[in-house]
Amino acid sequence: MMDIPKLQMTPAYRVVSDDLRQRIVRGEVQAGQAFPTEADLATRFGVHRSTIREGLRQLEQDGLLQRVGKRLVVTIPKHADLAHAAERALRMHQVSYRDVWEVASTLEPMCASLAAERINDEELAQLERNLEHTAVLVQSGQSPITATIEFQSLIAEATHNQALLLARAPVSLLMRSGYAAIAPALPQSGARLLEAHRHVYDALKQGDAESAVAWTRKHLMDHKRGFEFAGLDFDSPIPESA
């Protein structure tokens, strides 16, 4: 008897969604334009409308289509939606605090270096306002975690590099979990963090990429040492609730 493996057939709705996704990415339908109707697509593909409906639902979930009234319109996925989706996937893959820190240790210095070359006056002003807010939080004994993440995101935006922004966004969300894990054991860390941010800001203002990178790396090393001082396992997976 011949050992014949079963054929792996791709569901029709997946064939439809993959074909339409490629057309959107190629720009055959521009962002903001209305998509063909279910009836029209069913005729073109030669399948039932229910198959088209499921294929379109996949594209809606991916953020490529958005329902406006009764029509579907092509959209560009938002950074935040992509970041949260990637973050959830990384958590499901049981990435550890160390995994995320290693990636951040490459991406964040890169952001600092590029920002030193490209940052404009308005972006510097935003960083300055962030520092003022962080100082108030530290002086009043409140958590500066949200302000810290914002500071780093502002630097990333100053790179004006969309690929870098998309790459670091889920890593930034997971780094936030690391800050939250060590913060209770290190209430004094806020002042040290603020000092590092001030040095990074001064370096960016002067266009000093070397100094901006050096202080960014110093801050990241402090983050790693924070796990040691707090007695936490740096190699443990980041929990879903963190």
Q: Are residues 33 and 123 in the same domain?
A: no
Q: Are residues 109 and 178 in the same domain?
A: yes
**In the prediction, which pLDDT does 2 show?**
66
Residue 155 lies in a domain: yes
Q: Are residues 197 and 93 in the same domain?
A: yes
Q: What is the pLDDT of residues 82-95, one digit of tens each?
A: 788 889 889 999 99
* Mean residue pLDDT across the chain: 91
- Given a contact cutoff of 8 angstroms between Cβ atoms, the answer to whether 239 and 97 are in contact is no
Query: Which structural domain, as residue segments, surrounds residue 108?
Result: 80-230
Residue 238 lies in a domain: no
**In the prediction, which pLDDT does 43 show?**
93
Residue 134 lies in a domain: yes
**In the prediction, which pLDDT does 6 show?**
66
- DSSP annotation string for 62-120: TTSEEEETTEEEE-PPPHHHHHHHHHHHHHHTT-BHHHHHHHHHHHHHHHHHHHHHH--
**In the prediction, which pLDDT does 186 show?**
78
Number of domains the chain contains:
2
- Determine if the pTM surpasses 0.85: no
Q: Are residues 56 and 92 in the same domain?
A: no
Look up the CATH number of the domain holding residue 56.
Answer: 1.10.10.10
Q: What is the pLDDT of residues 206-217, one digit of tens each?
A: 999 999 999 999
Q: 């500071």: which residue's tokens?
A: 151
Q: Are residues 51 and 156 in the same domain?
A: no
Residue 30: phi and psi, rounded to 5, are -85, 155
Instruction: Using 70 as the pLDDT threshold, list the residues of the chain that sit under it.
Output: 1-2, 4, 6-8, 241-242
- Given a contact cutoff of 8 angstroms between Cβ atoms, the answer to whether 152 and 200 are in contact is no
Residue after which a domain boundary falls, among 56, 74, 92: 74
How many other C-beta atoms are found inside a 10 Å radius of the C-beta of residue 211?
Answer: 17
Q: Are residues 87 and 47 in the same domain?
A: no
Q: Are residues 156 and 213 in the same domain?
A: yes
